[in-house]
């Protein structure tokens, strides 16, 4: 993904359902009650792949985030450890996916394609086919992302259809991600929130119609462009390079560094936590 600076802006809402927080006024003080998620019948046990979006969205206890051997981990209740993943593109070149899997990596998000930020042309990531096949062969659950530079809903539709064509019905364990970074590149300079939201909505609807779960990627600065009310059914992959995430609104994936070290990958690589199955309170 991007080689970005530290996220700068307080993000707007995400595409996930919010867990209710009850404020109780007692003895002249406001006490924020933090209770467990409702008993909605959802099985929060983790079985090695992305949790269904039909689940209630969990919040996270910040004290459960830890730094271990240079990586961030989140250990939830019942000793559930949220899996660590990498996201990769042609920038990582040849990858030894067997070594990646042996180094404690539990899933892979692979760039399927991108739109040029100046010429506007659509491109398949030249390493997509190899990365997908080799990561799956190594036993890693996979998802994909498309780097968008759409300036209209029609262009977002073109990107989504291009993505579906490249996937050609392939099985995915993780979502198809709309990677929309208006602070990068020249095409999106000056884009307004209504247009950005229309692009995100269009891309996500077409991906969902194609049988995959859409997710929106962004840091605080990126997410400010999107109207959360119009994307309330879409989950978020949040980017913030820190020891713990500061975002209060729910999100399901967290990209916490761009300088990770993983066996089998010869360059620094983005590292992520899959928090979709974290059974916790907030």
Torsions phi, psi of 129, nearest 5?
-60, -45
pTM check: above 0.85: no
Q: From residue 179, give the alpha-carbon distance in Å to each of 4, 26, 50, 73, 216.
A: 13, 45, 18, 24, 6
Does residue 152 fall inside a structural domain? Answer: yes
Domain assignment of residue 2, yes or no: no
**Residue 158 confidence (pLDDT):** 98
The enclosing domain of 82 has a CATH number of 3.20.20.80
Buried b (16+ CB within 10 A) or exposed e, 63-76: eebeeeeebbbbbb
* 3-state SS assignment for residue 22: strand
Best CA proximity match to 12, nearest among 231, 209, 177: 231
Residue 140 within any structural domain of the chain: yes
**pLDDT at residue 47, as a whole number:** 40
Count of domains for the chain: 1
The answer as to whether 8 is a domain residue is: no
Closest CA to 269 of 131, 109, 92: 92
Please check whether residue 67 lies inside any domain of the structure. yes
Q: How far are the Cα atoms of 40, 98, 151 from residue 178, in angstroms, in the given order?
A: 29, 27, 14
Structure token pair of residue 149: 């530079």
Q: What is the residue range of 103's domain? A: 22-274
Q: Is residue 123 part of a domain?
A: yes
Q: What is the pLDDT along the chain (282 residues), one digit of tens a residue?
A: 753 332 222 233 333 333 333 333 333 333 332 333 333 332 323 344 566 554 445 567 888 899 998 899 988 777 778 999 999 999 999 999 999 999 999 999 999 999 998 889 999 999 999 999 999 999 999 999 999 999 999 999 999 999 999 999 999 999 999 999 986 667 898 899 999 999 999 999 999 999 999 999 999 999 999 999 999 999 999 999 999 998 888 899 999 999 999 999 999 999 999 998 765 433
In a domain, 269, yes or no: yes
Decide if 230 contacts 204 (C-beta within 8 A): no
> β-strand 253-260 against 235-239: which pairing, if any?
parallel
Is the residue at 280 inside a domain?
no
Query: What is the structure's pLDDT at 276?
Result: 85
């Amino acid at each position: 993904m991007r080689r970005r600076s530290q996220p700068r802006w307080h993000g707007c809402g995400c595409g996930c359902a919010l867990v209710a927080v009850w404020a109780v006024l007692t003895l002249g003080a406001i006490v924020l009650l933090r209770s467990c998620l409702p008993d909605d019948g959802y099985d929060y046990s983790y079985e090695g792949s992305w949790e269904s979006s039909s689940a209630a969205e969990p919040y996270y206890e910040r004290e459960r985030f830890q730094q271990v051997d240079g990586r961030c981990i989140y250990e939830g209740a019942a000793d559930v450890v949220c899996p660590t993943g990498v996201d990769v593109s042609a920038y990582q070149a040849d990858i030894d996916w067997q070594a990646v899997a042996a180094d404690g990596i539990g899933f892979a998000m692979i760039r399927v394609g991108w739109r040029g930020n100046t010429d506007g042309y659509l491109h398949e990531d030249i390493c997509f086919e190899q990365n997908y096949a080799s990561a799956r062969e190594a036993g890693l659950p996979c998802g994909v992302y498309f780097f968008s530079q759409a300036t209209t809903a029609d262009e977002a539709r073109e990107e989504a259809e291009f993505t579906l064509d490249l996937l050609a019905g392939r099985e995915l364990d993780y979502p198809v991600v709309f990677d929309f970074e208006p602070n990068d590149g020249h095409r999106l300079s000056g884009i307004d929130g209504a247009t950005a939201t229309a692009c995100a909505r269009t891309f996500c609807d077409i991906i969902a119609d194609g049988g995959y779960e859409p997710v929106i990627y962004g840091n605080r600065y990126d997410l400010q462009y999107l109207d959360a009310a119009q994307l309330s059914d879409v989950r978020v992959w949040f980017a913030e390079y820190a020891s713990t995430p500061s975002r209060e609104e729910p999100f399901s994936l967290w990209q916490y560094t761009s300088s990770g070290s993983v066996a089998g990958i010869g360059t620094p690589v983005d590292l992520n936590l899959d928090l979709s199955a974290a059974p916790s309170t907030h």
